[in-house]
Structure formats: structure tokens, C-alpha cells
Amino acid sequence: MTMTQANQAAIRAALEAGGVAFVDQNDMGPGVRLRDRAEGS
């Protein structure tokens, strides 16, 4: 299955609006985490 750039951007935006934060690669690799409620306010 392939995904268009527009679909990828829409999914990412929806997840971020729901409190998911994408983290860049660090010692353990890229990933996601839930954003603190204080950060999202």
C-alpha cells in the first residue's frame, strides 16, 4: 500500500491535534509520545 504526501500530512496533523508528538531520532531512534497536557494548552 502506498500513501500520498497529502494523506501522510493529514494523518500526522490529526494525530498531533489529538496530543501525539513526533520525536526526532535520538539515541533510541525516531518515535512518538503523548504530549503533556500543559504543552498542548
| Total-model pTM | 0.68
Q: Which residues on adjacent β-strands are paired with residue 16? A: none
**pLDDT band of 39, cuts 50, 70, 90:** low
Residue spans of the domains in the chain: they are 5-40
- pLDDT for 30 beyond 90: no
d(CA 1, CA 4): 10
* pLDDT (mean) for 18-23: 91
Helix (H) or strand (E) holding 16: helix 5-17
pLDDT the model gives residue 15: 94
Amino acid present at 27:
D
E strand residue ranges, the chain: 20-23, 31-34
